[in-house]
Structure 1
Amino acid sequence: MEEIWQIAGLFLFSAVRFFLAPPAAVIAGYGFLSTVIITFSGGSIGFVLYYKFWQILKTSFAKLFKFKKKGNKKTFSKKNKLIVKAKLNYGMIGIALLTPILLSIPFGAILAANYYPNNKKVIPVFLSSILIWSIGLTYISLYIKLP
């Protein structure tokens, strides 16, 4: 029963802060395949839920309140500049590759829902990115020993 709770915790951790989940699963004693399955499942289900939830929230909020655009100047942080640069230079694939490691899964899902609301390739591209990072981070966590 304790192992089920541990897997559930790693699953939820993968859905929120993906970058730290594979090392946490390795520290918990899981092997390569188990870690990849747990982290990929948590990250992908988390992404889909956040993506769909944000789309529903955004459309219902827009129906409830009609907003007029204001002409105020936006301030840019380093993170905002990185996101805009990734969107302009690399598009959806750039944001998908940055989401699991630099951004978080919820924030990446919000960006995807805002920038690519009707694109049918969003979910497959982001899930592919999550799988690639899950395999890569698990490999690094298991086989590369830091001094």
Structure 2
Amino acid sequence: MLLKILHIVLLASVKYIVTLPYAMIIGLDYEYALLAVLTGGIGGFLFFYYISKPLNRGFMLMWPCLCNAIPSSLKARYHNWCISRSAKRKKRVFTRKNRFISRMKSNYGFWGVIIATPVILTIPIGAFLANKYYSQRRHTVLYMILSIIGWAGVLSGFVHLFPKVFF
């Protein structure tokens, strides 16, 4: 039983939306399943939220070393790109990825990330986006925890509405 709960906690910390139905299917009691899903979702968010900034900083510090480690056959192709990354940025060029991120931020913004993280996005991606773009906001962590709890309530409602699917 303890192994099942640990399995659900680890699964909920990564992919939240499928965890409660999965816990019910494998035969975990409802109370333990809900507690394990909430613990895994909140714990996973806190873990990925607070580890994403040091990882991002470390990656940016290691980027010049990674550019130097490229084999000589690929070095010519990536030489200009490495120079542009390490040089001071003069003007920001909007690529397809930058346009997509700015469109998502302007259309959905903070609340879109908060609401979509447990359902559409995964917990690690939502934690990374919240930390990268909205870490200066006062209650980002609190709102994300409330979103995780709210989605647990919605999933719990589905389990109670359609019990024959899960039992």
What residue in structure 2 maps to residue 18 of structure 1? 16
TM-score of the pair, normalised by structure 2: 0.72
Change (3 A) 1:71 1:63: same
The alpha-carbon deviation at position 26 of structure 1 amounts to: 1.2
Aligned equivalent of 1:75, options 96, 104, 109: 96
Q: Secondary structure at the match of 1:18?
A: coil
Given that 1:22 and 1:35 are in contact with CA atoms closer than 8 Å, whether structure 2 keeps it comes out as: yes
Given that 1:36 and 1:135 are in contact with CA atoms closer than 8 Å, whether structure 2 keeps it comes out as: no
Q: Which has the larger radius of gyration?
A: 2
The alpha-carbon deviation at position 135 of structure 1 amounts to: 1.6
Q: Which runs of 4+ in 1 moved over 6 A?
A: none
What residue in structure 1 maps to residue 159 of structure 2? 141
How far apart are the structure 2 equivalents of 1:120 and 1:71?
28
How far apart are the structure 2 equivalents of 1:32 and 1:130?
17
How far apart are the structure 2 equivalents of 1:45 and 1:134?
14
Change (3 A) 1:102 1:26: same
Name the amino acid aligned to 1:46: G
TM-score of the pair, normalised by structure 1: 0.80
> Is 1:126 equivalent to 2:126 in the alignment?
no
Q: Deviations over 1:94-146 (max 9, x none)?
A: 21110111010001011111111222311100010000111211221243256
Unaligned runs of 5+ in 1: none
How far apart are the structure 2 equivalents of 1:23 and 1:84?
34
Number of aligned positions between the proteins: 141
What residue in structure 1 maps to residue 55 of structure 2? 57
Q: Secondary structure at the match of 1:16?
A: coil
Percent same amino acid at aligned positions?
A: 27
How far apart are the structure 2 equivalents of 1:134 and 1:141?
10
What residue in structure 1 maps to residue 112 of structure 2? 94
TM-align CA RMSD: 2.6
Unaligned runs of 5+ in 2: 64-84
How far apart are the structure 1 equivalents of 2:119 and 2:21?
13
Change (3 A) 1:92 1:71: closer
Q: Deviations over 1:55-92 (max 9, x none)?
A: 1222344456684447554225xxx85x6555324432
> Is 1:116 equivalent to 2:114 in the alignment?
no
Change (3 A) 1:89 1:140: same
How far apart are the structure 2 equivalents of 1:58 and 1:36?
32
